[in-house]
Structure 1
């Protein structure tokens, strides 16, 4: 082992390598016996392609650039494609990101539009399609803007003709439901075709606060009748519903404080762990019923594993294999289950489980080591103690290098990572952005602060009315604990995060003295503006629970905002923002920087054209990572060979 200053170790994990491996397969599904999914292409302007796995195992990207299979419904999107075998060949319907129209694709033909371009506002958008060739329709969620404002919008279930007759005629789209709810998920049809189930909710609730599960009868003419609420409520979250092979309604609910499964209203294997998660994207799936009566499930506290549940005996058998975390995208056909799994040593892969044999194998997007795995970080899953003795869950990644160590008596710098959401969680998976820092001798700690998912409703509800307090306190508690344990250098601590994590980062820098610098990425900075028209409809009333009812505590909105306390910020920072972001718009950054003008705080603001909420282009991710490392190098007094120097202005 060679001795070298922490943060200056040579590493093969450069920013381009990390960017090339960003993102994961998503939205798996079956078309006949074949498995299909979407996959990111960072080097192709960040588009998502649709991948088909043929019977012989060959993978094919069926839609070349510039086709981009991604929905903008509720801005975070939803399941953007569906397929069926029709006349012996695949018939696929997908949403194209640039225009948000639905298109029909069949082998040997160019995609043909099924829906029109809206002449009003932000357009017509579609998600969670279900292809029904026998009806000549695709059923899905329709999000229709009625004006230019982000909340001038309605959402219903709709049926789109497969013959293309609605491509220029909005009137040819058949609406299946009235505007019963502000938000709806796509319809799930019972195997016998007689009933449809979907989920709805209304402002100011978010889907993890309270939803309603609705069932309607499907008439012979394809209309939905007798819609009734069968589960859910203001304090009961139902994030997914489906039907068993014998037409019984299966759904997840957190009525006991944990997302557990219910069949026709009766609990299935109640446990103090999660069998579902927060519905950030329409069509996320944590369970899939199998033909024989078993249920494929994701479950756990924190990280979620793939398992098979026997609802009659409550036996839960985890799938064998190296994957410790699975994304909320399951599909089942007969006894086959397809999922997307990863581990601290491998990126997300498409995995197929044969429930008859118990054999699981990688069938797509197979992980390939970009560098020697000796440079990968090794996580330590920790539980820290925060204010009032409360538990704080975190994943700590110490510096790791096969032939470097730090000098005796020197402690490494650490970066505290705050996740987005804030109703979310850090997955326990290989992330080359983390390796980018740990392989250079900079530690990383991912904090699943109070309010995170995966640990029950009580843990999730800690953030109610306390956003900007509990998250900031929990991140600081982890940072201080690592310093007190002699793990991290207390003088070289940084904090970083994106979206809600950008909020926590900015709030941490303006209300604590724990950190020497920070990286703020597409953040919320001004609650007053963000909650009054500066964000999208989905989260426009999120603050009613995170901060409190505006009508009752208006002063809290200003008091909590980092923009209000910009004068307290005294340490260097870098601010990274996409100019096309409609969730956390650039105006928030501009307002924050205006408050800082003339105060002499070293900082850099980098705005990326063509990027929205979440960077997707390889060149953007490279620039962002290198800027972040340059910031830490300058503040911590490190040498960063080969990294462009970030110019900090005051």
Structure 2
């Protein structure tokens, strides 16, 4: 092997290009098992972000089922999820453009089931006895009020026959039929709660006319988050609750709630989208589940009579979308050295089969940075967590006295988390000579309810402190260059980015992806799901308007003294473009280097391949001009004002 070339950090030529990332990668999600077939959704950046249902039969044949221009997606709770289900070979899916539900078999074209209406549908379950689909509907028909959420039934023989089964709460999710079809369980929550704050689990009998009898509250409330109710094959109701501080497994039987396995680990997730799943039943006596502990995910079996938990060994540190049926478990798994893949485990032999990879790219490990989980001290004598990625490229090394520039990543949500799964967008940076710190700041999930609630009333403080202290920790350890510290994030992570750049003096540059600069504007102009989110993160509005202004970077541009690049979708309803544009104008007027790239046709998050490529390369170009290093490859320049 030739000796590595000596070249400054940031100037290393990498085989992990933006073209390679967008052309060779698909998004995998929303697994459905029907008899012996496996269905899932692929999000394809090369098809303008279109979501396609794909089927794999037992003979290994993989087939696309969703013809163009259909796009299997919905906007229930704005973020969607749970966009299709399958029963005995018949597929029911939500189409994004016209918001209708379609039905289809693998051998036929989609046929519209529901009429044209200003409604979105999600989280469907087929009620075979009554020939109907039960699902969540979000109705936007009354434009003068926020949309109305309900549980509805849709007649599979006459899609115009839609009946309301439950209404009156602000939000509904997870309708689940018991095995004999006599009972329905579901979740609700109301403003100002989000589903990770407090939800309620209900059960009702189904009457002869198909409507629901009197609903019984099983568990939950304003201070208890219930996640994923499921009926076991023998008719007991299971669910996940954080009543112990950790999202653990419980079951309800004969009116009593029984804990299954107490553990300082998270079996649940923040319910940002519909249809999320972390467990399923192999049999009435055995449950297959996933949980996260210290930032890594595990697969396990839980014997329901003895309550013994046993880890099922896999090479994966990230496991999601678990579905279980017919002695097989199917999930999306990833690790630090392998892109996510659709994986099947034979539960009788523990044999693992990769059904589909998110990327067929085979990248030499010599170009991959292995994340190192770190813990570091932050404010108030508390500990924060992150994954540290040192620069790695087998073809290069930096001059001996040089320290690498650092990009601190602040994830979105803010109630979310990052993981150690191979992320080519991170490796894009590390293989060019950047260090990356991916922070699970206070408020992140995976570390218990108390850690999640550190952000209560403290958004813009705790998250900023943790990101800042992470950068300071690495600087003190002499692992990075303290004069070349950048911070980047999207959505809520974009707010953390802008707040850190405005209210702290640690960072020298930043990149905001559809980030928030004016909290007051966000409180006035966002969608229903998050309309009261800020009540818990900051305080009630307008009663605490003073705090909203005090923590909004747009009002303190005089404190901002470093360059920023902004990326924004023109059709973003979560964080409208005016949020970025106000900040850009303020920076222009102040004479600071600033760049702004607006994408037509994009919403909250970028789905088109050309825009994902432009964003990666644009951010790299921006840093090259700000930090003063030469690029190893030609990149389309970005207009940087005041430079």
Establish whether TM, by shorter chain, passes 0.5.
yes
Mapping 1:247-258, distance limit 5 Å: 247-258=235-246
The answer to whether residue 45 in structure 2 is matched with residue 52 in structure 1 is no
Among residues 541, 546, 549, which one is paired with 1:550 in the alignment? 541
**Deviation of the 1:24 alpha carbon:** 2.8
Aligned equivalents of 1:190, 1:497: Cα separation in 2: 42
Question: What residue number does 2:273 align with?
Answer: 281
Question: What residue number does 1:582 align with?
Answer: 573
Deviations 1:509-546 (A, max 9, x none): 111111111000011221111111x1110001000000
The answer to whether residue 379 in structure 2 is matched with residue 387 in structure 1 is yes
Question: What residue number does 1:353 align with?
Answer: 345
**Deviation of the 1:310 alpha carbon:** 1.7
Aligned equivalents of 1:67, 1:316: Cα separation in 2: 42
Deviations 1:75-101 (A, max 9, x none): 10021001111xxxx210000111111
Question: What residue number does 1:241 align with?
Answer: 229
Contact 2:174 2:229 in 1 (8 A): no
Which secondary structure state, in structure 1, belongs to the residue aligned with residue 514 of structure 2? strand
Contact 1:320 1:360 in 2 (8 A): no
The answer to whether residue 27 in structure 2 is matched with residue 24 in structure 1 is yes
Question: What residue number does 2:562 align with?
Answer: 571
Aligned equivalents of 1:366, 1:46: Cα separation in 2: 14
Of 360-369 and 470-479, deviating more is 360-369
**Deviation of the 1:31 alpha carbon:** 2.0
Among residues 147, 169, 173, which one is paired with 2:162 in the alignment? 173
Which secondary structure state, in structure 2, belongs to the residue aligned with residue 574 of structure 1? strand
Aligned equivalents of 1:539, 1:115: Cα separation in 2: 28
**Deviation of the 1:23 alpha carbon:** 5.3
Aligned equivalents of 2:539, 2:146: Cα separation in 1: 24
CA RMSD of aligned residues (A): 1.4
The answer to whether residue 199 in structure 2 is matched with residue 199 in structure 1 is no
**Deviation of the 1:646 alpha carbon:** 1.8
Aligned equivalents of 2:33, 2:584: Cα separation in 1: 49
The number of residue pairs the alignment matches comes to 633
Which secondary structure state, in structure 2, belongs to the residue aligned with residue 422 of structure 1? coil
Among residues 424, 428, 445, which one is paired with 2:437 in the alignment? 445
Contact 2:188 2:200 in 1 (8 A): yes
Question: What residue number does 1:344 align with?
Answer: 336
Question: What residue number does 2:68 align with?
Answer: 65
Distance 1:91 1:42, change over 3 A: same
Question: What residue number does 1:592 align with?
Answer: 583
Question: What residue number does 1:540 align with?
Answer: 531
**Deviation of the 1:277 alpha carbon:** 1.1
Aligned equivalents of 1:373, 1:144: Cα separation in 2: 49
Segments of structure 2 that go 5 or more residues without pairing to the other structure are none
Question: What residue number does 2:127 align with?
Answer: 132
Aligned equivalents of 2:488, 2:318: Cα separation in 1: 23
The answer to whether residue 310 in structure 2 is matched with residue 317 in structure 1 is yes
Mapping 1:630-649, distance limit 5 Å: 630-640=621-631, 641-649=633-641
The answer to whether residue 472 in structure 2 is matched with residue 468 in structure 1 is no
Distance 1:560 1:23, change over 3 A: farther
Deviations 1:424-452 (A, max 9, x none): 00022111111111001011110000000
Which secondary structure state, in structure 2, belongs to the residue aligned with residue 25 of structure 1? strand
Question: What residue number does 2:99 align with?
Answer: 100
Among residues 489, 494, 499, which one is paired with 1:502 in the alignment? 494
Contact 1:53 1:364 in 2 (8 A): no
**Deviation of the 1:216 alpha carbon:** 0.5
Aligned equivalents of 2:519, 2:178: Cα separation in 1: 43
Aligned equivalents of 2:514, 2:217: Cα separation in 1: 38
Which secondary structure state, in structure 2, belongs to the residue aligned with residue 176 of structure 1? strand
The answer to whether residue 7 in structure 2 is matched with residue 11 in structure 1 is no
Question: What residue number does 1:159 align with?
Answer: 153
The answer to whether residue 527 in structure 2 is matched with residue 528 in structure 1 is no
Calculate the TM-score normalised by the size of structure 1: 0.95
**Deviation of the 1:402 alpha carbon:** 1.2
Runs of 4+ in 1 over 4 A off after TM superposition: none
Aligned equivalents of 1:23, 1:503: Cα separation in 2: 28
Among residues 139, 144, 148, which one is paired with 2:143 in the alignment? 148
The answer to whether residue 595 in structure 2 is matched with residue 604 in structure 1 is yes
Of 208-217 and 126-135, deviating more is 126-135
Aligned equivalents of 2:39, 2:603: Cα separation in 1: 26
Aligned equivalents of 1:198, 1:216: Cα separation in 2: 9
Aligned equivalents of 1:320, 1:242: Cα separation in 2: 25
Aligned equivalents of 2:380, 2:139: Cα separation in 1: 47
Contact 1:305 1:326 in 2 (8 A): yes
Deviations 1:357-401 (A, max 9, x none): 222221223653343232122100111111122111100000001
**Deviation of the 1:70 alpha carbon:** 1.0
Aligned equivalents of 2:280, 2:248: Cα separation in 1: 14
Aligned equivalents of 2:532, 2:152: Cα separation in 1: 26
**Deviation of the 1:229 alpha carbon:** 0.9
Aligned equivalents of 1:226, 1:290: Cα separation in 2: 31
Which secondary structure state, in structure 2, belongs to the residue aligned with residue 501 of structure 1? helix
Which secondary structure state, in structure 2, belongs to the residue aligned with residue 408 of structure 1? coil
Aligned equivalents of 1:487, 1:545: Cα separation in 2: 36
Aligned equivalents of 1:78, 1:593: Cα separation in 2: 33
**Deviation of the 1:2 alpha carbon:** 2.1
**Deviation of the 1:564 alpha carbon:** 1.1
Which secondary structure state, in structure 1, belongs to the residue aligned with residue 478 of structure 2? coil
Which secondary structure state, in structure 2, belongs to the residue aligned with residue 304 of structure 1? strand
Aligned equivalents of 1:97, 1:376: Cα separation in 2: 37
Question: What residue number does 1:512 align with?
Answer: 504
The answer to whether residue 398 in structure 2 is matched with residue 406 in structure 1 is yes
Of 250-259 and 153-162, deviating more is 153-162
The answer to whether residue 613 in structure 2 is matched with residue 625 in structure 1 is no
Which secondary structure state, in structure 1, belongs to the residue aligned with residue 562 of structure 2? coil
